[in-house]
Chain A
Amino acid sequence: MEKVIMGNHAVSYGIQLARAQVIAAYPITPQTQIVEMLSEFCADGLLDAKFIKVESEHSAMAATVGASFAGARACTATSSHGLALMHEVLHWAAGSRLPIVMANVNRAMGPGWSVWTEQTDSLAQRDTGWLQFYCETNQEVLDTVIQAFKIAETIFLPVMVVLDAFVLSHTQEPVDIPDQATVDSFLPPYEAKFRLQPGDPHAFGGLLAPDHYKEMRYKMQRAMEEAVAVTSQVGAEFGKVFGRSYDVVEKYRMDDAEIVLVTCSSITSTSRVVVDELRAKGEKVGLLKMRLFRPFPFAAVQEALAGAKKVAVVDRNISFGHGGIFAAEIKSALYSAPHHPLIFPFIIGLGGRDVTPQSIRNIVSYTQEHDKPDEDIIWMEVKR
């Protein structure tokens, strides 16, 4: 059934269709509508889940961890400062190998206080052991939420599904909402490997001597590596069932492309328009959309950029003292590749400033006109 819905409600519908059993959440702009709608689903009997109201995001994640330990399909949603407050418990979720799914609406960190989109909040959590997906459209948001449970429950690691504040969260788009029976056939009920049970108590997350600790971290990394292939498989299977396929990255008009834009999230759709425009003029410009950020899809990125001369990485984030985080990751991915295109690291759109087709045209022009970047970070549209 097709409905015109906002990105936040795409998350809510995805969670409903996935038959989540426990939702623990705390409100924060611009995420609140996600859990508002879920609480209504629970109250109206449209979702047979326990909705736990908590007093902070730290507690939201802690309750979700507890529910997942008890064998429930558990999820939550947050944004920016809420995610930052969860930081400690994100490690607990991943280290306990709990297949929790969380939606994070990308919002710039304060101060200055901001509610608009930026990726620094989620990217700052990249080392916690969570998978991270960045979504381009509301349809992709809904589809990714459903896939996220399947991936998480296959590899036993938590998954974060990321969408842009307002550009997706509050913007209405037509979204195909699949029927429950089909989703049920795609996503069977969750079977916990370990379960917290009052009748058979065990200690979870206890002290771990150096004898054991490293091996668990080794297994987490192995699971992350496995997650790349699992993501591709689940994305392909999803395509067979629902008619919309997904992979770790998406190549758009990349044949013979000399200049490649690397984007993620909603900037991708803006860039598609510009790429079409430039292709129509005969310019060899392509687009690589990064969907999966953790684990980082090294092989797919190397393969996609193998023929490019110049790569323009568009970062709506910053790691202070380093630069755009995607640019750094792309550079590190290409170091071991036989071919090293020039990387043009652009930073744009921080704090939710609009990224327009003209912004992308400017990025492409700069890349075309320069043999190499003038600076370590190419700051676009800074008022200086």
Chain B
Amino acid sequence: MSEKIVFKTEADMPLLPMSLGTTLYNKTGSWRYLRPIYRDKTPPCNQACPAGEDIVAYLRLVNKGEYEQARQRILEENPFPGVCGRVCGHPCESECNRAQLGGAIAIHAMERFLADLPLERKLLTLEATAPAGAKVAVIGSGPAGLSCAYQLARRGYHVTVFEALPVAGGMMRVGIPSYRLPREVLDAEIAAIAALGVEIRTGMRLGDNLELDDLQDYQAVFLAVGQHRGRKLNVPGEDAEGVLPGLEFLRRVNMGHKVKLGPTVAVIGGGNTAMDAARSALRLGADVTVLYRRSRKEMPAISEEIEEAEQEGVRLEYLSAPVEILTARKKVTGLRCVRIRLGEPDESGRRRPEPIAGSEYTIEDVDTVIPALGQEADLSLLDKGVRTRGDLIVTNEAGATSRQALFAGGDAATGSGTVAHAIGSGKRAALAIDKFLRGEALDDFPPLTEHVHAAPRDVDPTVVHFEDLNLAYFTEEERTPQPQRAVSERIKDFGEVNLGFAEKDALCEAERCFSCGTCNQCDTCWLYCPDVCILRRDHEGYEVNYDYCKGCGVCVEECPRDAISIEEELKWRK
């Protein structure tokens, strides 16, 4: 202190320790050694979606009543929300953090709600990246092929899709019954893709009236022929009259052909094909029993499908496997089965089924046996230059095969067996083909077990788990059930079982979403910052006033959804 302070009177003495000058010069943010950063992380639903949808983003848009934008958000990644909102096994819901506080968000029903909005569906094109006149051939018009065609067409490519069957849609058309997926929903979504200029040529079967070498006019080919050949039972009697492979049965029913079934049907298998076959047979008037060699827990079918099948009167017999199809005069009369016990887990992680010696028994009076043991691709149609492993086409992470300019995806390459995986796989190939035809390297694709995004997403890949949330902000709220037709009504025909959400249901589910790792402008940080350093930006989150933020971390701790990170300040001062 340079000057000696003398108070002339008592009144001169200060009353309280308050600076005389302004403290505006003092940017107290310089005290900070930790820096809070708004950085969205990955919600578990998004991480789990094989089609790569930004689920949290569209739920938030629904919450704001912006339905059309929400639907566009899905369509960026997936041109089949009407299909997926009905038939997807929704791995997103299995991972949903809400499951622990009232039940997972009904994401599939939300997707369907948006798909079914009474608004004109328009698929948006993007800024064209295709080289002038670039043409791509897609073989197979299933979800993989059409997803690929869609993503390429919106980038300016001329795409021709070749389909072996007389109708487009692949397994969506011939594998999935109409009580799960009404034909007009599928027709509309395929029509929207065709409206982008995609040409679909049906009745063109590879190895039959089409060869890869015929496609010289195309600069790239995407092969997505799916898995349409059912696996065999390999038991005596399989060639008898009355044995009808599941896929063939479904294909015939779904294409409107007449199918002759006996009054008593046994379906063998525990996957979605088995359920679809059983419920279709039930609708055709049969008495249906499903035999599955493992227990309910190991069944690969979507659990709602199993429950609905049971409600409708399908009998499920677990831990049983046929050893022989009994016949008389080359016609099915019954089944000889063996009881199974479950041993140690096998390479799939499921417990290995082991026949119990001496436990064989007979099921009498079976008229029709429908084996549904999984399917495989018919790769005999491929020429030798394409590498395969088992019944799958081998690709790298960009979906490229061993043959130049030939890409492959969908079930024939991944064996994943779901529409959503196929959509993701087709999108991956489209992004790769786009790069390939522009002469770019194909080296930055994620592993095939992960998904790709068509729309860039700047988020931290860290997945937000339940324990990362601030549970003080969330109460238990029950999941909204989707209405269904009464069992007694729905088994009479192939009309749709699920009836979809009303707007109020959709809003209720959107409201329940935790928005894990994703800022939804809840204002908690803004309210809690003890230094008033959180600034609201109009409609797009917040920013930190680093002039005064002291890095206390209250915003990070308090954020209900783990959307703020904190990092060492030194990292930012380099």
Q: Interface of A with B (CB < 8 Å)?
A: 95-97, 156, 193-194, 198, 200-206, 208-209, 211-212, 215-216, 218-219, 222
Of all chain A residues, the one with the shortest Cβ separation from B12 is A215
A95 touches B18 (CB 8 A): no
B10 touches A202 (CB 8 A): no
A200 touches B13 (CB 8 A): no
Q: A219-B10, A222-B10 are in contact. Are A204 and B5 (CB under 8 A)?
A: no
B19 touches A200 (CB 8 A): no
- The 5 nearest A-B residue pairs measured at CB: A203-B19, A215-B13, A97-B16, A202-B19, A201-B23
Docked complex: B1-26 residues within 8 A CB-CB of A? 1, 5, 7, 10, 13-24, 26
Docked complex: B463-488 residues within 8 A CB-CB of A? none
Of all chain B residues, the one with the shortest Cβ separation from A209 is B1
B13 touches A205 (CB 8 A): no
The secondary-structure label for the interface of chain B is: loop
A202 touches B22 (CB 8 A): yes
Task: For A95, list chain B residues within 8 Å (CB).
Answer: 16-17
B17 touches A219 (CB 8 A): no
Q: A209-B1, A211-B5, A212-B5 are in contact. Are A204 and B18 (CB under 8 A)?
A: yes
CA distance A218 to B23 in the complex (A): 27
The secondary-structure label for the interface of chain A is: loop
A203 touches B13 (CB 8 A): no
B17 touches A215 (CB 8 A): no
Q: A201-B23, A201-B24, A203-B23 are in contact. Are A215 and B18 (CB under 8 A)?
A: no
CA distance A202 to B5 in the complex (A): 21
A219: which of B15, B22, B24 is its contact (CB, 8 Å)?
Answer: B15
17 of the cross-chain contacts (CB-CB < 8 Å) are: A96-B16, A96-B17, A97-B16, A194-B18, A202-B20, A202-B23, A204-B17, A204-B19, A208-B17, A209-B1, A211-B1, A212-B5, A215-B13, A216-B14, A216-B15, A216-B17, A219-B10
Q: A209-B1, A212-B5 are in contact. Are A156 and B15 (CB under 8 A)?
A: yes
How many residues of B sit at the interface, in one of the four size bands?
Answer: 10 to 19
Q: A209-B1, A211-B1, A212-B5 are in contact. Are A204 and B16 (CB under 8 A)?
A: yes
A218 touches B19 (CB 8 A): no
B10 touches A203 (CB 8 A): no
A216 touches B16 (CB 8 A): yes
Task: For B5, list chain A residues within 8 Å (CB).
Answer: 211-212
Q: How far is the CB of A209 from chain B (nearest CB, A)?
A: 7
Q: How far is the CB of B361 from chain A (nearest CB, A)?
A: 67
CA distance A317 to B299 in the complex (A): 74
Docked complex: B518-559 residues within 8 A CB-CB of A? 532
CA distance A95 to B14 in the complex (A): 12
Assuming A96-B16, A97-B15, A216-B13, what are 8 further A-B pairs, CB within 8 angstroms? Answer: A95-B17, A194-B16, A201-B22, A206-B17, A215-B13, A216-B16, A219-B13, A222-B10
Task: For A200, list chain B residues within 8 Å (CB).
Answer: 22
CA distance A178 to B141 in the complex (A): 85
CA distance A222 to B17 in the complex (A): 17
Of all chain B residues, the one with the shortest Cβ separation from A98 is B16
Task: For B19, list chain A residues within 8 Å (CB).
Answer: 202-204, 206
Task: For A97, list chain B residues within 8 Å (CB).
Answer: 15-16
Q: How far is the CB of A70 from chain B (nearest CB, A)?
A: 12
Task: For A219, list chain B residues within 8 Å (CB).
Answer: 10, 13, 15
Task: For B21, list chain A residues within 8 Å (CB).
Answer: 202
CA distance A203 to B19 in the complex (A): 5
CA distance A209 to B1 in the complex (A): 10
CA distance A27 to B20 in the complex (A): 38
B22 touches A215 (CB 8 A): no
Q: How far is the CB of B509 from chain A (nearest CB, A)?
A: 31
Task: For B26, list chain A residues within 8 Å (CB).
Answer: 203
CA distance A95 to B532 in the complex (A): 25
CA distance A203 to B254 in the complex (A): 78
Task: For A205, list chain B residues within 8 Å (CB).
Answer: 16-18
Task: For B1, list chain A residues within 8 Å (CB).
Answer: 209, 211
Task: For A212, list chain B residues within 8 Å (CB).
Answer: 5, 14, 17
CA distance A203 to B20 in the complex (A): 8
Q: How far is the CB of A257 from chain B (nearest CB, A)?
A: 40
CA distance A216 to B10 in the complex (A): 10
Of all chain B residues, the one with the shortest Cβ separation from A194 is B18
Task: For A218, list chain B residues within 8 Å (CB).
Answer: 13
CB-defined interface of B356-387 with A at 8 Å, one 1/0 digit per residue? 00000000000000000000000000000000
CB-defined interface of B15-39 with A at 8 Å, one 1/0 digit per residue? 1111111111010000000000000
CA distance A206 to B21 in the complex (A): 13
